[in-house]
Amino acid sequence: MNYSLNESIALLPSLKHELNTHNYRYYALDNPSIPDAEYDRLFKQLQAIEQKYPDLITSDSPTQRVGASPLGKFKQIKHKLPMLSLSNAFNDEDLQNFEQRLQDRLGSTESVEFVAEPKLDGVAVSLLYENGQLIYGATRGDGEVGEDITQNVRTIKSIPLMLLGEGYPKLLEVRGEIFMPKHAFESLNAEAIKSDRKPFVNPRNAAAGSLRQLDSKITAKRSLRMCAYSIGYIETDDLDFDPFVLPSNHYDMLKKLSVWGLAINQEMQLVTGAKACSHYHNALSVKRGDLSYEIDGIVFKVNNFEQQNKLGYVSRSPRWAIAYKFPAQEEITILRSVDFQVGRTGALTPVARLEPVFVGGVTVSNATLHNMDEIERLDIHVGDRVIIRRAGDVIPKVVKVVVEKRPESAIKIILPSECPVCGSPVAIIEGEAVARCTGNLICSAQIKESIKHFASRKALNIDGLGDKLIDQLVEKELVKHVGDLFRLHVNDLALLERMASKSANKLVKAIEAAKATSLAKFIYALGIREVGETTAALLSKKFGSIDNVANASIQSLENLQDIGPVVAKNIFSFFSSTENKQKIDELISLGLTFAPVKQDNVESATLEGVTFVLTGTLPSMSRDEMKTLLIEHGAKVSGSVSKNTSYLVAGDAAGSKLKKAADLGVKILSEQDALTLMHI
């Protein structure tokens, strides 16, 4: 194998392609075409050439899966399109209702065609390929932003570093599940026990822990697999590329991904109607134990892409897909005690402390009891035998008491009259089921939780300010409310446990950097009851400044879409408090600033109720950027042309949407026409 440089250059492409193809057949199809010894011979041949001519090594070479140098921390990647969650079905009736909703929206009584896929119990990821080459891999994260795990996904042999075949677009985002097969999980735990390390509880946790290794060489040893389940984003600069040569349905799109070298689930099937979905679900539940991987249900997706576009989305879930979970797993254990935890808003939440029991793949020692109404409904006593249910990742809950086995020593659970943390009186507001501590300003539990919320990633995102550090700051009375965060000095922090001078300096800089934020994030950070990210963004957009929000009437708040009377009252009450207004003024005086808000105005409101469809390549911006602008100006943006479409914004290489719009008499706009409508 003593090849010259020119011979090596000529040989490498075919050698790498051959090895990549064999990797695909072995790891994606589970159908190897050559013995291991022959594969090893080819691999060593490639290694020898690359060792002799290091300049010929490329990132897509099969030899480059061993892992890179350890990272200091994970970077973040913003998904090109959000990674949404799925709504759930738990019985056949839920499934029938799901199909009925689809038929109503589609205006059809015909049974819907679905793609049925086992719901792998792993970690959802996004992979971006550019011109066929893997660029990055990211976790789902919060759906908008995930962690950059590129170094780790490159070590997974079922993930092609270079797509096979041809015909893929310039940019292709593939979504799927990374999981650990049962045999790999068992081997990993056997090795952990042998080395006196704590074993993983289940394959899902093992996969998640393996993907979050800062040292990718560790990930490379964990035998992870990846199964593709959808595409997220497609983009091309090639005007000759016709995106409509791509499949028009989900099933064929997955088959296309398989041709390009990605693993898809071999249990996937096309089924028609809710009854067929139920039969498939039952068949897989029987087969579940014999599969080489863990699944926790079945995902059913509408197969036809045009129907998917017509059905659209609700909240953070697609209307055209549902996860039919397997029956929840239950076990009996003993309730040993009940603790009352105090949250950010003073709510007292009873938590059941249980005799540890293995259920749903994990050992459970705590479960939620929600509130005193739930305790009374269950008639639960300390000492009772209770049935615990855990379905998937849902927090374990007590669902039933075995009353006939109640011991004589069982003790009735009583709501404390005083806060277990600060001793302030506990009150129950009329009309609410939740009891609350009244010591807002003196209760360390509320202070801690409010600061944790204020500093969280979705709020001011103060890097390095974790829960344990906040606990220390409050307990040592260095921080009594959120404003004190901006008065901290390096000397204060350096005295804390596990906080050296370098870390203290870094945190002070992070706190200083957090002063420059957005109005939406600041409103969310204030912790107003029932005001989440979406509501905070809406308030920011509609009112434009914190003063305008603070002075808004209940009526003006209720007039906003998606804000009802209860939330409006919470917002109004919060800003009616002199104490809260002083807190906001104090934060602004300490240097908090907000980026300018592009506020709704009369002109932009003219697009309310107007539906746009985008197609082709726009001259000065991407379609995503145009979509964002239109939505900001009150418009709706659909993925398909119909009689309800108001305008089609068409760029170069517009394709079939342009023809359909012309046939339906839909007005066609250029990019500049659309900007003019928005007064931009």
358: CB partners within 8 A, 6+ apart? 331, 364
Nearest C-alpha neighbor of 486 from the set 458, 507, 517, 457: 507
| Token pair belonging to 569 | 């009252």
Closest by CA position to 127, among listed 86, 165, 80, 180: 80
| Cβ contact 95:274 at 8 Å | yes
DSSP track, 437-460:
ES-TTT-HHHHHHHHHHHHSTTTT
Task: Report the C-alpha gap between 304 and 321 in whole angstroms.
Answer: 12
Pairing mode, strands 317-318 and 313-314: antiparallel
Separation in Å, CA 583 to CA 315, 465, 572, 587, 665 = 32, 21, 16, 6, 56
Angstrom CA distances, 484 to 450, 470, 652, stand at: 13, 12, 55
Query: From CA 491, how far away is CA 401, in angstroms rounded?
Result: 53
Which residue has tokens 């105090």?
342
**In 144-289, at which residue ranges do the beta strands (DSSP E only) sit?**
145-147, 171-179, 225-235, 269-272
Q: Which strands, in side-by-side order, build the sheet including 113-120?
A: 87-89, 321-325, 295-302, 113-120, 269-272
Residue 617 DSSP class:
B
Nearest to 335 by CA among 400, 393, 390, 392: 400
Rounded Cα distance between 113 and 274, Å, is 9
Please report, as a single letter, which amino acid is at residue 587: L
3-state SS, residue 613: strand
3-state SS track over 108-132: CCCCCEEEEEEEECCEEEEEEEECC
Neighbours of 436 (CB within 10 A): 21
Active site residues: 119
Tokens of 6: 């020119």
Quote the tokens at residue 512: 């200083």
The CA R_g of the chain, rounded to the nearest whole Å, is 28
> Cα dist. 587→482, 546, 580, 584 in Å?
8, 12, 11, 5
Nearest Cα neighbor of 126 from 150, 107, 103 is 150
Q: Where are the alpha helices (DSSP H) in 158-273?
A: 182-194, 203-211, 216-220, 250-259
Name the nearest CA neighbour of 163 among 138, 127, 190: 127
> Which amino acid would we find at residue 481?
H
How far is residue 376 CA from its own chain's centroid? 35
**Distance between CA atoms of residues 67 and 215, nearest Å:** 8
Query: Which one, of 335, 331, 332, lies nearest residue 412 by Cα?
Result: 335
